[in-house]
Structure 1
Amino acid sequence: MTALFVVLALLVLAWVLAFVGVPLLGWVGAFAAAWILLLATGLIGPLGAVLLGIPLAVLALLAVRPLRQAVVTRPALGWFKQVLPEMSATEREAIEAGEPWWEAEMFRGRPDWSKLLSFRYTELTPEERSFLENEVETVCAMVDDWNVEFERHDLPDAVWDYLREKRFFSMLIHKEHGGLGFSALAQSCVVTKLATRSNALAVTVMVPNSLGPGELLMKYGTPEQKQRWLPGLAAGTEIPCFGLTGPEVGSDATAMPDTGVICRGMHEGREVLGVRLNFSKRWITLAPVATVIGVAFKLSDPDGLIEGGKRDYGITCALVPADHDGISIGRRHYPGSAFMNGPIQGRDVFIPLDWIIGGLPMAGQGWRMLVECLSAGRGISLPALATAAGQASYRFVGAYARIRRQFRTPVGRFEGVQEATGRIAGYAYMLESMRALTASAVDHCTPSVVTTIAKYHMTEMMRDVLRDAMDVLSGKGVQRGPRNPIAVPYQAVPIAITVEGANILGRSLMIFGQGAIRCHAFVLEEMAAAHADDLPKFDDLLFRHIGTTINRAVRAFTFGLFGTGLAKAPVEGPSAYYFRELERMSAALAFAADVAMGVLGGSLKRRERLSARLGDVLSRLYIGSAVLHHFHANGAREDEVVAMRWALDDCLNEIGVAFDGFIRNLPSRPAAALLRLVIFPTGNPYLPVSDRDNAALADAMLEQTEFRERISHLVYRPQDPADPHAQLERAFQLCLRAEPAYETFLKAAARGQVQGDDLQARLADAVAKGVLDQAQADLVAEYDAERVEALRTDDFSKEYIAGASRER
């Protein structure tokens, strides 16, 4: 019995040391003290002292660095070098681009919640607020989306002029160069509001402020290049585009066949050293109207004309006027939306060396430049489009579901419909939470992994939101015309899914592939130490890594076995449970990632489905964090509790699904069994969102509340009473006032208590019989007229349809 007690006591001691994360010397000291105590009290005899002394001696010897380096670390270093994945220069540049941010806290398994809660959203300046409330409102009012998409296939000239005049294309350009100098969050707000009015308008504005010459010049341009181009870009007299993708190059931009060869040629009447370009680009937004083209190509110097240079420089970026000799801009593409998009060709285009962005010192640095700019763009532009879909759908679909009736009941009251509308509401809340946090992060640093997470998951949520919106709107969503609020964004979804890194690529390769190395506490430094054959450095990192892995495994197992009561939540109240559960899953991810990298080694990057599932876990941890931050940044309002709970339950359920899929498909079954024991010792506890919470969110969509206004605060509200969107909102507001009387009238009519050949006659009869008073009857008549108008769909003559579809 005494032996059993001693064993249990030592196991508890080891458990506590591992759970707390005590370093190796602490383990040696604790077990040495236990050994002395047990021997002194007589709880163990000579044999027990020897048996306990063996693991104590092993721990003590491991604490002697020269010894463990010779016995343990050197063989481990050799093994580590063998399993390291081969990494190209472009892969290394992609991994090292940007910097880790909050996602690193979630990846490391023990998040510092105070870091998240103390982070403040970027505050809009008075100038930015004024722009949003005036210039953005004005240009939205100038745009008729049906006219843009299906009649003109372009923005009106007056809109183009206004965008130039008010410097919409230069939000990211600093004021010293004539730009607006807006924050990333302000740019996000502008694009979101524009997108609730017109997809083509939003894309036209966002592209020059995302991946394009303006941003590249701001970050990398020479003083001469900035002076030459930025004032024109700021004023809108120069319209930029950037040529990256091509017929053989989509997501794998490093495979581009476009070339630039250093040679001598004539420029402005004299022979200079320069670059001869040959390239073919397509899917280039703004190409048909561009006056200046950023172009990416592979630069080489086969004749060694640059003294002390290289023969092969790699991907390089240059800035070329669109009317330069050899440049040819082709006819327009039409990618499901009316924004300008088209191909660009370059044949024997000679440019001087100083047209390379950043000059000759930046030759070969193009991929890193592009990856860093794409990271920022992924955090602003596409999340803004997705958020616009969420906010607009919440507002439009909620209004429609209240005024549209089937079986004398608003369609939004049916549980089947609520499954869709509740999901719209939940995603709208998640989208706004991610938009605000990610864009604010871009204002403070250059986050790389979180922007990929935002781009992938927000555009996928956009796809789901618009699919649900289409299901609810049904015929109104199918029939094209000015009265259809979702046809254009529904059609344009594939654009957001494929641009700036296709979603399949982002999920399968980038999120975990980059996150596992960039966000891990030790792996990137271990790789550097291994490449440098730095044994002492590798030894220090390796044993800290082992200690952290043990700590995260024990924490995850403890939380799974006994609940997350031992995890620390930074607040009390309805969100505390979710802080603790995210910490549990953060610890599980850290351990699972180490097991995956240890078992699969360099082959992990080829196991894309496994990598994608771990990426899903990391992503949902970030999304859940964004929701918790948003909830508390808004003051932890009572009317947001259900939305917060819906979003976190959805995140935890998706984490459970991802972990289950990862464990079931891990090739090493012993490793899979270990992971299941550690992560889900009593089974997966996470369930889908409850019907109760989903119905509560769906019901709230049908009401006029403060939450409705907050969740749709960036939706453009047209002032023209004839605008179809204004009509829908007006009918909704009238419904809220008229519905009690309307319900009374409909029930009386269904029972045969009122008669008449039309609505007016039946209302008059209802007044005569005391079913309604005159004021109620007048309100019902007004509402019904607005309701019928708002529910109408468009129809067109054969001649109009033929004219609208004729090639232009």
Structure 2
Amino acid sequence: MSGTAAAHALDSYDPIDLATMLGPQEAAVRGTIRNFGVERVLPGVADWYERGELPESDLRALVKELGALGVLGMHLSGYGCAGMSAVEYGLTCLELEAVDSGLRSLVSVQGSLAMFAIWQHGSEEQKQRWLPALAAGDAIGCFGLTEPDAGSDPASMRTTARRDGSDWVLTGRKMWITNGSVADVAVVWARTDDGISGFVVPAGTPGFTAPPIKRKASLRASVTSELVLDDVRLPADAQLPEGRGLRAPLACLNEARYGILWGAMGAASACYRAALDYAGTRVQFGAPIASYQLTQAKLADMAVELAKGTLLALHLGRLKDAGRLQPAQVSLGKLTNVREALAICRSARTILGANGISFEYPVMRHANNLESVLTYEGTSEMHTLVLGQALTGHTAFRR
């Protein structure tokens, strides 16, 4: 009996044995991305975070490598995209965010926002021009929806696009745009006489600038920018022909939110592992703190919530691959997984004590990053109301 128990001992890092639930291709994707993150990004990410700077040369090199791995727009088909499954994309987000939320954000914005918008709503000419370059990492994309006064309520956006002959002229500002100041192309949403519409804006277009946002306490190893559109003149074919109405950008956001509900579990897993390792080596009162009941209670609670969130992500991924995933289910996943990931990170910090705030460990970096993840791509309040409306049939967004 003891031999059997030893042969099947619980994996402290993965008590639900996630690997047994994955197919060979899914496991291979997960392993490849984990190795890339650990070997290529993890050694430098704490320094980037501490400096609050991800140099453009390093970022572009990373994007090229991610493109070579087939990660960029990996869940899309054609145009140089890998055409992988939703679960494979989710596992990729999990492993990327186990390194840093900024790394997962880079990939999410490139693939699930900029590329998805063009792939889903663009013309064939727009797809041919941009998607192969974005998939290969030869170009970087960003997505301009959020404004200084229009976050949770994008319908109130002030950026406008007016006709001038056959051209469009865009005027306005977008805020908190990942990849903005290094992007080669921006998908920008603006109000027209016929409603909200999307436009493809190449970097370097006169009147278009993207100053970086500095002095951040979160997502410091990520490029965040403002987009300024000062009478930006675009040809008629810059408009996304199928990108009309608010449903178009919201469909893109739903793709990104799906990646987030996986990614949050990656950040939580990194903090759980750090706390588990630390508790086994930190000696107080003559014994490792892992031997004390209160520490074990914290670790057990963290393991339980991590298991629940990971299983939920996998279930939603299977639904997405089957074509049955609903937007409210994505909201449910994003709401609970980010919330519990934050709780796991905070509990891990208490186990590490003062060392928990040191960049020698990943815990505070992940916790700070998750404070942004909690509110971007829809705040907890908004996802609560999305879920509430789906459950009751009553909307509570406006009064």
- Report the TM-score, using the length of structure 1 for normalisation: 0.44
Give the alignment of 1:462-611 within 5 angstroms.
462-478=341-357, 480-481=358-359, 483-507=360-384, 509-517=385-393, 605=396
Aligned to 2:246: 367
CA 1:153/1:516 → structure 2, altered by over 3 Å: closer, same or farther? Answer: same
Secondary structure at the aligned position of 1:323 is classed as: coil
Q: For residues 490 and 277 of structure 1, what CA distance do their matches in structure 2 show?
A: 37
Q: CA deviation at 1:347?
A: 1.1
| Paired position in structure 2 for 1:297 | 190
Q: Which residue of 2 aligns with 1:327?
A: 208
Deviation of 1:607 (Å): 9.6
- The whole-number CA distance in structure 1 between the counterparts of 2:85 and 2:278 is 35
1:206 equivalent to 2:133? Answer: no
Decide whether the 8 Å contact of 2:100 with 2:267 is kept in 1: no
2:168 alignment partner, SS class: strand
Q: 2:143 aligns with which of 220, 233, 242?
A: 242
Give the secondary-structure state (helix, strand or coil) at the position aligned to 1:208.
helix
Distance 2:279 2:21 in 1: 35
Q: 1:190 aligns with which of 63, 84, 92?
A: 92
Query: SS at 1:459's partner residue?
Result: helix
The question of whether the paired residues in 1 share the 8 Å contact of 2:142 and 2:178 is answered with yes
- Summarize the alignment of residues 103-122 of structure 1 with structure 2, pairs less than 5 Å apart: none
CA deviations over 1:389-413 (Å, ceiling 9, x no partner): 3322332212222222221232223
Please state if 1:230 is matched with 2:131. Answer: yes
Deviations 1:274-297 (A, max 9, x none): 321111001000101100000011
In the alignment, which of 448, 463, 476 is matched to residue 327 of structure 2?
448
Q: Is the 8 A contact 1:208 1:240 kept in 2?
A: yes
Q: Which amino acid aligns with 2:354?
A: G
Question: Does residue 377 of the first structure (1) align with residue 228 of the second (2)?
Answer: no
Q: 1:490 offset after TM fit, Å?
A: 1.3
In the alignment, structure 1 residue 355 sits paired with structure 2 residue 238 = yes
Q: What's the counterpart of residue 154 of structure 1?
A: 54
Are 1:342 and 2:225 counterparts? yes
Q: Secondary structure at the match of 2:72?
A: helix
**SS at structure 2 position matched to 1:319:** strand
SS in 1 for 2:229: strand
Contact 1:332 1:342 survives alignment (8 Å):
yes
State how far apart, in whole Å, the 1-side matches of 2:67 and 2:158 are: 35
> Would you say the 8 A contact 2:280–2:290 is kept in 1?
yes
3-state secondary structure, aligned to 2:246: helix
Distance 1:177 1:129 in 2: 25
State whether structure 2 residue 25 is matched by structure 1 residue 142: no
Q: For residue 373 of structure 1, what is the amino acid of its counterpart?
A: C
Q: How does 1:646-725 map to 2 (within 5 A)?
A: none
Q: Structure 1, unaligned stretches of length 5 or more?
A: 1-120, 265-272, 301-312, 518-596, 598-603, 609-808
What is the rounded CA distance, in whole Å, between the counterparts of 1:219 and 1:182 in structure 2? 16
Q: Which has the higher strand share?
A: 2
How far 1:317 moved relative to its partner? Answer: 0.8
Q: 1:171 aligns with which of 70, 74, 92?
A: 74
One-letter amino acid matched to 1:322: A
Q: Determine if contact 1:288/1:332 at 8 Å carries over to the other structure.
A: no
Determine if contact 1:246/1:282 at 8 Å carries over to the other structure: yes
Q: Distance in 2 between matches of 1:136 and 1:426?
A: 22
How far the C-alpha of 1:487 sits from its partner, in A, is 2.0
Report if aligned partners of 1:122, 1:440 keep a CA contact under 8 Å in 2: no
Q: Is the counterpart of residue 257 in structure 1 residue 136 in structure 2? A: no
Give the direction of change, closer, same or farther, for the CA distance of 1:441–1:463 in structure 2 (3 Å limit): same
Partner of 1:330, secondary structure, is coil
In 2: Cα distance, 1:213 partner to 1:161 partner: 16
C-alpha deviation, 1:139, in angstroms: 4.5
**Do 2:257 and 2:377's aligned partners in 1 also have CA atoms closer than 8 Å?**
yes
Shift of 1:367: 1.0
Q: Structure 2 vs 1, CA of residues 254 and 141 (structure 1 numbering), >3 Å: closer, same or farther? A: same
Aligned-partner Cα distance in 2 for 1:236–1:139: 17
Instruction: Show CA shifts across 1:97-153 (max 9, x none).
Output: xxxxxxxxxxxxxxxxxxxxxxxx996563x54443336513430222222212472
Matched with 2:4 is none
Instruction: Judge conservation of contact 2:180–2:212 (CA < 8 Å) in 1.
Output: no
Q: Deviations over 1:545-594 (max 9, x none)?
A: xxxxxxxxxxxxxxxxxxxxxxxxxxxxxxxxxxxxxxxxxxxxxxxxxx
For structure 2, which runs of at least 5 residues remain unmatched after alignment? Answer: 1-19
- Is the 8 Å Cα contact of residues 167 and 235 (structure 2) preserved in structure 1? yes
CA-atom RMSD in angstroms: 2.4
Structure having the higher Rg: 1
Q: How many residues align?
A: 372
Distance 1:607 1:324 in 2: 38
- Contact 2:272/2:345, CA 8 A, preserved across alignment: no
Q: Percent identity?
A: 24
| Residue pair 1:449, 1:515 contacting (<8 A) in 2 also | no
Structure 1 counterpart of 2:396, one-letter code: K
Residue pair 1:431, 1:458 contacting (<8 A) in 2 also: yes
Matches within 5 A, 1:611-626: none
Larger RCO, structure (CA 8 Å, separation 6 or more): 2
Task: Give the alignment partner of residue 199 of structure 2, picking from 318, 341, 346.
Answer: 318
